[in-house]
Amino acid sequence: MTEAAIRKKPGMVSVKDMPVLQDGPPPGGFPPVRYARRIPNKGPSAVAIFLTAFGAFSWGMYEVGKGNKIRRALKEEKYAARRAILPVLQAEEDERFVKEWKKYLEYEAEVMKDVPGWKVGENVYNSGKWVPPSTGELRPDVW
């Protein structure tokens, strides 16, 4: 089809001669465009979330405190048992030490019998203090 048939005019001299055929808004206009940030009000408020978190934290700290009290009581019970049995263990160690010390003195007397002026059991360091062996035994495997 030609333009003359479409526009029902024999021809055009200028574009300005064309009838204006333009789409326009519907009667009453277009609805407004939503461009604002609209977040729906779903879920709990910030105060509710804060109070829930604070409550959970408080409950957790309460449970930690209860556990600390129980652990402290168990530790004190363990230490009390150790303090109660300590004299028995010390007596056994003293008895073992006296037996080993007597063996050691007998061995020293036998080894040093030919040395003039040697006193069995005398401290060679001349400090005036008696110091028990730090290892807890007198090395009976050496004799």
pLDDT tens sequence across 3-31 = 666 666 666 666 776 777 778 888 888 89
DSSP 52-108: HHHHHHHHHHHHHHHHHHHHHHHHHHHHHHHHHHHHHHHHHHHHHHHHHHHHHHHHH
pTM beyond 0.85, yes or no: no
Find the domain containing 101 and state its range: 2-112
Asked if the structure places residue 58 within a domain, the reply is yes
**pLDDT interval class at 136 (50, 70, 90):** low
Is 34 inside a domain boundary?
yes
The pLDDT assigned to 82 comes to 95
Mean pLDDT of 104-122: 89
108: CB partners within 8 A, 6+ apart: 120, 121
Q: Do the domain assignments include residue 138?
A: no
Q: Is residue 108 part of a domain?
A: yes
Residue 73 lies in a domain: yes
Domain membership flag for residue 41: yes
Integer-rounded Cα Rg, in Å, for the chain is 53
**Average pLDDT, rounded, for the chain:** 83
| Number of structural domains found in the chain | 1
Specify if 82 maps to a domain. yes
In a domain, 126, yes or no: no
| Confidence band for 143, pLDDT divided at 50, 70 and 90 | very low
- Contact between 121 and 108 under an 8 Å Cβ cutoff? The reply is yes
Cβ atoms of residues 29 and 41 within 8 Å? no
